[in-house]
């Protein structure tokens, strides 16, 4: 059976939640492989809205196994709160349908404190983080001082891990003018939350291997977008993990040979949250119109998203770095009613034409978009479920995007509703 990786191919907020939920009907296992609770997914199912930020999107479906892999940084208090919230909406969650990797590193309150203190420093350029401690938690992971899920099960190990962690963090906190960590309070809080987390802890790599051998269909779910990848994104205005499809294997402990299809989620225009370069950004009435019609506010933070025309240069680049075989194009209906549309087809860097985004941050900031104009459409595309339902100009727009990004459209989403989706290529087809 085919296994599918879903990645955002822009700066996040592309509509991954709806697409993953739509695909999860065909999957047996849905696995989150990176990120933390800074990534928001909004699902609309039968008129009911579910807002997720840590749990895999498949959790709202019965009879599926949802997995949080070792590539995710886990805030245990947020996990418990999100589970309680979804249960309040009638979603059944138990160790039978949710598993957490024993080797997943934890986000602690001290990580959020450090994150926010850094962003508040005077004279230091802001990254634009959500302040939820994701970056500092990943730093501790690679610094070999993280507390992991399995550590919660042994008091002596937990105390030793905390001591190693605080030897680093207390020094940082002194430099930032923050009081030292209350060691006893931190250990007590972890011991209190431990049973609620350990109930879901499993050797996920083993579970995933067995699922694959049994012929189960696996859906790998990423967070954020490829342009926020720590290596291939608009550094340093990026997240603290690898977002591209290659991380799916590492983030759950399964070989890259398990990946059969990479689906890139792409919005029909471009948005980003926070700081950093954005060549096709609009600060005029068209940008406001996109933001208003697209309800462009962060699911987790409520922050207003910056909006711009579709950037084919960036999407072509992310499709290459993630090995995308097909894209799911979302929010096409937001473009309804525009007389003219623009697509960014290249950049002008000090008079030189570029067909990719340069690596150097200063060069990225100087890139100016080169646009191609297309005719808009006045008819509605909202709720379309076949190509025949789309205006001719909308079809031309989609086909032009395919040409420019050198990748075909596999799915086309025309509203937040699950069934308002045009299937072109089945990612799960063998």
Q: Are 50 and 42 in contact (CB under 8 A)?
A: yes
Query: What are the counts of helices (DSSP H) followed by strands (DSSP E) for the chain?
Result: 12, 18
User: Which residues fall within 8 angstroms of residue 300, CB to CB, at 6 or more apart?
Assistant: 37, 38, 39, 40, 53, 130, 132
Question: How many other C-beta atoms can be found within 10 angstroms of the C-beta atom of residue 221?
Answer: 31
Residue 29: phi, psi to the nearest 5? Answer: -130, 135
Q: And the tokens for 197?
A: 């987390």
Q: Are 279 and 369 in contact (CB under 8 A)?
A: yes
Give, as one character, the DSSP assignment of residue 275. Answer: S
Q: Which residues are catalytic?
A: 13, 41
**Bridge partners for 306 per DSSP:** 272
Query: Measured between alpha carbons, how far is 38 from 298 in angstroms, rounded to an integer?
Result: 10
Q: Is 323 exposed, middle or buried (0-12, 13-18, 19+ CB in 10 A)?
A: middle
Closest CA to 185 of 113, 134, 109: 109
Q: And the tokens for 348?
A: 């002008």
Q: Is 267 exposed, middle or buried (0-12, 13-18, 19+ CB in 10 A)?
A: buried
Query: Measured between alpha carbons, how far is 39 from 57 in angstroms, rounded to an integer?
Result: 12
| Cα-based angle 360, 364, 369 (whole degrees, multiple of 5) | 150
Residues found in the chain: 430
Q: Are 353 and 334 in contact (CB under 8 A)?
A: no
């Amino acid at each position: 059976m085919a296994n599918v990786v879903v990645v955002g191919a822009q700066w996040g907020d592309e509509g991954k939640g709806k697409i993953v939920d739509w695909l999860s009907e065909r999957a047996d296992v849905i696995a989150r492989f990176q990120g933390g609770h800074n990534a928001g997914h909004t699902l609309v199912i039968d008129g009911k809205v579910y807002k997720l930020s840590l749990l895999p999107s498949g959790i709202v479906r019965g009879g599926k196994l949802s997995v949080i892999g070792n590539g995710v940084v886990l805030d245990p208090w947020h996990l418990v709160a999100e589970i309680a919230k979804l249960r309040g909406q009638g979603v059944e969650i138990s160790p039978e349908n949710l598993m957490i990797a024993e080797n997943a590193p934890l986000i602690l309150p001290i990580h959020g404190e450090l994150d926010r203190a850094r962003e508040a420093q005077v004279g230091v350029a802001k990254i634009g983080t959500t302040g939820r401690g994701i970056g500092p938690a990943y730093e501790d992971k690679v610094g070999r001082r993280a507390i992991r899920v399995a550590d919660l099960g042994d008091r002596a190990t937990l105390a030793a891990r905390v001591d190693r962690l605080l030897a680093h963090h207390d020094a940082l906190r002194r430099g930032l003018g923050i009081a030292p960590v209350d060691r006893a309070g931190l250990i007590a809080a972890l011991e209190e939350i431990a049973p609620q987390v350990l109930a879901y802890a499993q050797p996920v790599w083993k579970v995933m291997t067995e699922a694959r051998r049994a012929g189960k269909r696996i859906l790998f779910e990423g967070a954020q977008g490829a342009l926020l990848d720590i290596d291939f994104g608009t550094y340093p205005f990026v997240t603290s993990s690898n977002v591209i499809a290659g991380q799916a294997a590492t983030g759950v402990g399964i070989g890259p040979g398990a990946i059969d299809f990479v689906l890139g989620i792409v919005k029909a225009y471009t948005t980003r949250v926070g700081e950093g370069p954005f060549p096709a950004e609009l600060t005029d009435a068209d940008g406001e119109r996109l933001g208003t019609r697209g309800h462009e506010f962060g699911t987790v933070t409520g922050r207003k998203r910056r909006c711009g025309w579709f950037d084919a240069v960036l999407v072509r680049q992310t499709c290459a770095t993630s090995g995308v075989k097909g894209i799911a194009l979302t929010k096409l209906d937001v473009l309804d009613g525009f007389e003219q549309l623009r697509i960014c087809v290249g950049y002008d860097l000090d008079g030189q034409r570029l067909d990719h985004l340069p690596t150097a941050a200063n060069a990225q900031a100087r890139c100016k978009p080169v646009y191609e104009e297309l005719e808009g459409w006045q008819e509605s595309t909202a709720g379309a479920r076949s190509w025949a339902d789309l205006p001719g100009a909308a079809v031309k727009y989609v086909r032009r995007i395919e040409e420019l990004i050198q990748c075909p459209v596999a799915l086309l989403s025309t509203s937040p509703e699950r069934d308002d989706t045009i299937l072109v290529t089945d990612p799960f087809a063998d």
